């Protein structure tokens, strides 16, 4: 933490990107329950993407670029900007290393303009609940107030997650969508895909990113491990295809894609990757989705005819 005394803070700002989407709804409720006013950057839109292109490193993955733009938008909007250092969101797994560097990058870039508030999130060492308790204590709040705020925050996140379309125990046919939560939950990035699938009357679901543990497997990155675990459990009789929305320049995805492809080949489930970047080329995306869905329909027709 840098800057003024912690107990001076009356308001906190957060960029609506990356780590923000890993714990949906949780951090706002935590800080508000402690009596702070909360400013979250506006939802991603064309202006956010244009700002990202101007200020972010061209080699960054799309979610990192968007985080830079959202962060730029909230500097000065509150007494302090909150950016947790996310090291792991799932026991026995680690987060993408890029998430761990975000607070330091923010200090390097905006440390002269705003204090940066941070806390380690590392499920291998302690639960996110305990991290919130520690943060509340660092901010100078009484233990009872922090406990109540943390409980309210976890409850809000649970409610938010209960509304998500996950593939647990599904009986009907569906397409599984793989993507990091910050891609799924950023409507500007994912809505064109979901909108197109809805327009084609395709049922789509995604893995349960809120699960607390998974079977130990070969992939040790947390979100990618959850995707892999979901693929291991897939019933080829129910899941008709898998669509992987990958961010341009994602190092983790570039490795796990080949693992996913091999696994789904063995299960005889069609797999397609769509690489998402900041360019608005929706026509190509629509064409690829139509071709994938249609080819699966033809394949099933041929299988039934044999
Ligand atoms: S996992 Fe991929 S998309 Fe996510 S921050 Fe890391 S490189 Fe970027």
Predicted confidence band at 278 (pLDDT cuts at 50, 70, 90)?
A: confident
> What share of the chain in percent tops pLDDT 90?
77
Two tokens, residue 238: 């129910």
Instruction: Identify whether the C-beta of residue 58 lies closer than 8 Å to the C-beta of residue 173.
Output: no
Comparing CA positions, the residue from 208, 205, 194, 209 lying closest to residue 172 is 205
Check residue 283 and give its pLDDT. 73
Q: Is the pLDDT of residue 172 over 80?
A: no
Instruction: Please give the number of the atom of ligand 1 that sits closest to the Cα of 96.
Output: 6
Handedness of CA 292, 296, 302, 306 (dihedral sign): positive
Which residues are within 8 A (CB) of 66 and not within 5 positions of it... i.e. 6 or more apart?
Answer: 17, 18, 44, 48, 49, 52, 186, 189
Q: Is the pLDDT of residue 20 over 70?
A: yes
How far apart, in whole angstroms, are the C-alpha atoms of residue 167 and residue 159? 17
180 Cβ closer than 6 Å to some ligand 1 atom = yes
250 Cβ closer than 6 Å to some ligand 1 atom = yes
Q: Is the pLDDT of residue 253 over 70?
A: yes
Instruction: Please give the number of the atom of ligand 1 that sits closest to the Cα of 97.
Output: 6
How far apart, in whole angstroms, are the C-alpha atoms of residue 30 and residue 153? 5
End-to-end CA distance of the chain: 66
Ligand 1 centre to CA of 4 (Å) is 32
Q: Which residue has the tokens 């492809």?
A: 261
Which residues are within 8 A (CB) of 196 and not within 5 positions of it... i.e. 6 or more apart?
Answer: 285, 286, 289, 290
Task: Give all domains of the chain, ordered by start, each with its CATH number.
Answer: 6-162 (3.40.50.11890), 174-305 (3.40.50.11900)
How far apart, in whole angstroms, are the C-alpha atoms of residue 30 and residue 15? 16
252 Cβ closer than 6 Å to some ligand 1 atom = yes
Which residues are within 8 A (CB) of 275 and not within 5 positions of it... i.e. 6 or more apart?
Answer: 246, 247, 248
Site to substitute for ligand 1 among 253, 255, 257, 278, most atoms within 8 A of C-beta: 253
Instruction: Please give the number of the atom of ligand 1 that sits closest to the Cα of 95.
Output: 1
The residue nearest atom 3 of ligand 1, judged by CA position, is 250
Ligand 1 centre to CA of 205 (Å) is 21
Comparing CA positions, the residue from 295, 252, 255 lying closest to residue 272 is 295
Check residue 306 and give its pLDDT. 59
The residue nearest atom 7 of ligand 1, judged by CA position, is 250
Indicate the Cα dihedral angle 179, 32, 49, 289, nearest 10°. Answer: 30
β-bridge partners, 273: 244
Ligand 1 centre to CA of 57 (Å) is 14
The predicted model scores a pTM of 0.92
Check residue 297 and give its pLDDT. 79
Express each pLDDT in 119-160 by its tens digit.
Answer: 999 999 999 999 999 999 999 999 999 999 999 999 999 998
Dmax over CA atoms of the chain, in Å, equals: 74
Q: Which residue has the tokens 């993507």?
A: 179
Check residue 281 and give its pLDDT. 63
Express each pLDDT in 203-231 by its tens digit.
Answer: 999 898 888 888 888 999 999 999 999 99
Q: Which residue has the tokens 């101007």?
A: 54
Predicted confidence band at 4 (pLDDT cuts at 50, 70, 90)?
A: very low
How far apart, in whole angstroms, are the C-alpha atoms of residue 28 and residue 36? 9
Site to substitute for ligand 1 among 250, 274, 277, most atoms within 8 A of C-beta: 250
64 Cβ closer than 6 Å to some ligand 1 atom = yes
């Amino acid at each position: 933490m840098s800057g003024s005394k912690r107990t001076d803070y009356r308001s906190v700002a957060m960029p609506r990107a990356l780590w923000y989407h890993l714990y949906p709804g949780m951090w706002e409720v935590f800080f508000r329950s402690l009596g702070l006013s909360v400013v979250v950057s506006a939802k991603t839109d064309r202006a956010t993407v244009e700002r990202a292109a101007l200020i972010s490193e061209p080699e960054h993955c799309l979610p990192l670029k968007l985080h830079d733009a959202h962060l730029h938008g909230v500097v000065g909007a509150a007494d302090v900007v909150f950016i947790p250092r996310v090291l792991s969101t799932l026991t026995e797994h680690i987060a993408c290393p890029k998430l761990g560097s975000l607070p330091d990058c923010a200090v390097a870039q905006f440390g002269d303009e705003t204090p940066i508030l941070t806390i380690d999130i590392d499920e291998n060492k302690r639960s996110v609940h305990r991290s919130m308790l520690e943060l509340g204590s660092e901010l100078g709040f009484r233990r009872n107030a922090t406990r109540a705020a943390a409980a309210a925050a976890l409850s809000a996140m649970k409610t938010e997650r209960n509304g998500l379309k996950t593939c647990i125990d599904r009986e009907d046919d569906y397409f599984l969508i793989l993507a990091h939560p910050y891609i799924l939950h950023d409507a500007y990035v994912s809505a064109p895909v979901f909108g197109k699938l809805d327009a084609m009357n395709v049922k789509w679901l995604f893995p349960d990113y809120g699960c607390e543990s998974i079977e130990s497997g070969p992939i040790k990155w947390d979100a990618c491990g959850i995707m892999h675990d979901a693929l291991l459990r897939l019933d080829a009789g129910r899941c008709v295809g898998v669509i992987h929305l990958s961010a341009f320049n994602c190092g983790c995805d570039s490795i796990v894609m080949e693992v996913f492809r091999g696994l789904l080949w063995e299960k005889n489930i069609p797999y397609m990757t769509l690489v998402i970047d900041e360019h608005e080329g929706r026509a190509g995306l629509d064409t690829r989705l139509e071709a994938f869905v249609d080819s699966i329909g033809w394949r099933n027709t041929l299988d039934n005819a044999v």
